[in-house]
Amino acid sequence: MQGFLKSEFFFNYRRSASAIIGSALMLVFAIYVAFGPWLVAQNPHDIASLELLDSFKPPAWLEGGDPRYLLGTDGQGRDILASVVYGARISVMIGVTAMLCSCLIGTVLGLLAGFYRGVIDSFIMRIADIQLSFPSILIALFLMSAVGTGIDKVLIALTAVGWVVYARTVRGSTLSEIEKEYVQAARVAGLPDRKIILKHVLPNVLTPLIVIATIQVGTFVLIEASLSFLGVGVPITQPSLGLLVKNGFDVLFSGLWWTSAFPGLAIMMLVFGINLFGDFLRDELNPRLK
């Protein structure tokens, strides 16, 4: 830890406003994800704890507001703040899990394509090219309509969209790494392909993925929100931020703006924080900018 506090990375971090704001926002959401249920009074998924009488209360600072419901309530009397905290948990967990799956699959395919070249390479990369020529939301929509809805289905759709960027990046770095002499040295030492890939190539192609993975969590949160908003995302029993926006949207024009606006604001802050921090990471980890 002492070493980290003295490192150049930390030195630059302390001087970068965007990095500090971004990581602060990310920290807030990390706390929601980890401790959410203990932070809010109500469990919005538990129908027994809802008071129908408290439905459509405006935020606490407006006329008719109830101090128990800081951001107001929705049609079932659910506390919006509690919904947002629970929804953020679902959104973030979907984003992170889908990112991990994409990263794993994309990295493996990229390594194989870059290391073995030839037919494997052409096959994987052509699929990736085709994939990239469609908007990712379209592919996700198409898949969701084919396999149905549910959190697991959302994960499959996001992974199907997300692996390409890792595969392409890893393939590119692999191609340049295997030309380097340390990989040739490993061959001369008598290492089999498997060991060369795992011990020599893999550790040296991972750094650029950190930036991609960070920013991708933000992208996935947005795609998932869009899917849920379109009604092909998460089920109504496990509402993510996107579904909350949709639910509120139905009554938005009756002047009940808070049911939709606060979940939307949460999405914005989450993605904004991730992108700010991601930009900082990119500047720090990119050797070309140094």
Partner 1 sequence: MTAFLEVENLEQRFDVSGGPLDRLRFENGVPTMARRIVHAVNGVSFEIQRGEVLGLVGESGCGKSTVAKTIARIYRPTGGAIRVDGEDVSQYDYRKMLPVRRKVQMIFQDPFASLNPRQRVRDIVMEPMIQHAEPGDKTIEKRAMELLARVGLRPEHADRYPHQFSGGQRQRIGIARALSVDPQLVIADEPVSALDVSIQAQILNLMMDLRDEFGLSYLFITHDLSVVRHISDRIGVMYLGFMVETAPRDKLFEEPLHPYTRALLSAAPAIDPDPEAEEEIELTGEVPNAFDLPSGCCFRTRCPFAFERCSRERPVLKEAASGHQVACHLLDGET
Nearer to partner 1, 67 or 192 (CB): 192
CB of 134 to partner 1, least distance (A): 20
Q: Is position 64 an interface residue for partner 1 (rule: CB under 8 A)?
A: no
Distance of CA 249 to the CA centre of its chain: 23
Q: How many residues sit close enough to partner 1 to count as binding (CB under 8 A)?
A: 18
Amino acid at 245: V
Binding string to partner 1 for residues 195 to 214, with x set by CB under 8 A, is what?
----xx--xx----------
Report d(CA 42, CA 221) in Å as an integer.
Answer: 24
Q: Is position 182 an interface residue for partner 1 (rule: CB under 8 A)?
A: yes
Q: Is position 191 an interface residue for partner 1 (rule: CB under 8 A)?
A: yes
Q: Is position 188 an interface residue for partner 1 (rule: CB under 8 A)?
A: yes
Nearer to partner 1, 53 or 119 (CB): 119
Nearer to partner 1, 3 or 192 (CB): 192
Q: Is position 68 an interface residue for partner 1 (rule: CB under 8 A)?
A: no
Report d(CA 85, CA 70) in Å as an integer.
Answer: 13
Largest CA distance in the chain: 78
Nearest to 58 by CA among 242, 243, 261: 261
Three-class SS state of 45: coil
* 53 beta partners: none
Q: Is position 9 an interface residue for partner 1 (rule: CB under 8 A)?
A: no
Binding string to partner 1 for residues 99 to 138, with x set by CB under 8 A, is what?
-----------------------x----------------
Report d(CA 35, CA 274) in Å as an integer.
Answer: 20
Report d(CA 79, CA 55) in Å as an integer.
Answer: 9
CB of 201 to partner 1, least distance (A): 10
Other Cβ atoms within 10 Å of 103 Cβ, number: 22
Other Cβ atoms within 10 Å of 187 Cβ, number: 13
CB of 244 to partner 1, least distance (A): 44
Interface residues toward partner 1, by CB under 8 A: 122, 180-182, 184-193, 199-200, 203-204
